[in-house]
Homo-oligomer: A and B are copies of this chain.
Amino acid sequence: AIAELLAQQFDTGQLSGKHVVITAGPTREALDPVRYISNHSSGKMGFALAQAAAEAGARVTLISGPVNLPTPPQCERIDVISADDMLQAAEHATSDCDVFIAAAAVADYRPANIAEQKIKKSGEHITLTLTKNPDIVATIAGQPTPPFCVGFAAETQHLGEHAQCKLQRKRLDMIVANDVSQPGIGFNSDDNAVSVFWPGGKQQLAQASKQQLARQLIQLMAERLSATQPQAN
């Protein structure tokens, strides 16, 4: 009940009437019936954003890879495993959405072939061919009438350059960059610190809990959304 009261304090209504679609967590790419490639994303940042967007009055669809997190109140959750599944769910959910936030750590590559039976241990070395996965946020941002698209960039070096390059190349409206090589923030941490870039602007958000950062990010997105939208008056 205290959590609800606190949440109501942040209930700004900035996104009321808006449909926000958020992806969160890792994806898992099967190698065979038992093995997979994945990454260390906990889903905490995406889930915090879903909660903050709901607090701001949005209708929220949360598309989540395999994580161990409870669904935030008021959010519709769709569970997926692979990047292909996540793209399909995102394409469907964004057909009528205003803001698309791609917070998931989607696997860049998947095994070119999924073995039907468990691969037996054999030689000293094996070679695996990986195929590039679809770029979910770029696919959604490349639609004829895309929603306001927010990407994430988890980097271990050249943070700003990589992030701004992705912003332009993928035609995003905003990108949130964090340095996953820094201990105490990012993957699996409760805290984060990010740099936010949009066409013609940027802002640093200092280290804070993912829940606090999520509220700041949702506020920033709501401001940019209203700045970029044609006013209907």
Is A92 an interface position by the 8 A CB rule?
no
Closest-by-CB residue of B relative to A155 is B118
Interface flags, A85-125, vs B, CB<8A=1, else 0: 00000000000000000000101110010000111010111
Report how many copies the assembly holds.
2
Contact B37 A35 (CB under 8 A): yes
Q: Which of B31, B36, B125, B156 makes the CB contact (< 8 A) with A117?
A: B156
Is A131 an interface position by the 8 A CB rule?
yes
Contact B34 A154 (CB under 8 A): yes
In the complex where A123-B132, A131-B124 touch, is A37 in contact with B34 (Cβ < 8 A)? no
Contact B39 A154 (CB under 8 A): no
Contact A132 B128 (CB under 8 A): no
A193 to B135, CA, bound (A): 41
Interface size bucket, A side? 35 or more
Q: A98 CB to closest chain B CB, in angstroms?
A: 28
Q: A137 CB to closest chain B CB, in angstroms?
A: 12
Chain B residues with CB under 8 A of A124: 131-132
Q: Which of B119, B121, B125 makes the CB contact (< 8 A) with A112?
A: B125
A158 to B158, CA, bound (A): 51
Closest-by-CB residue of B relative to A40 is B34
In the complex where A68-B68, A154-B118 touch, is A181 in contact with B33 (Cβ < 8 A)? yes
A127 to B129, CA, bound (A): 5
Q: Which of B34, B131, B154, B187 makes the CB contact (< 8 A) with A187?
A: B34
Closest-by-CB residue of B relative to A117 is B156
Is A149 an interface position by the 8 A CB rule?
no
- Known contacts A34-B105, A124-B131, A127-B128; 10 additional CB pairs below 8 A are A34-B156, A35-B39, A35-B40, A36-B38, A108-B121, A109-B121, A112-B125, A118-B155, A125-B132, A126-B129
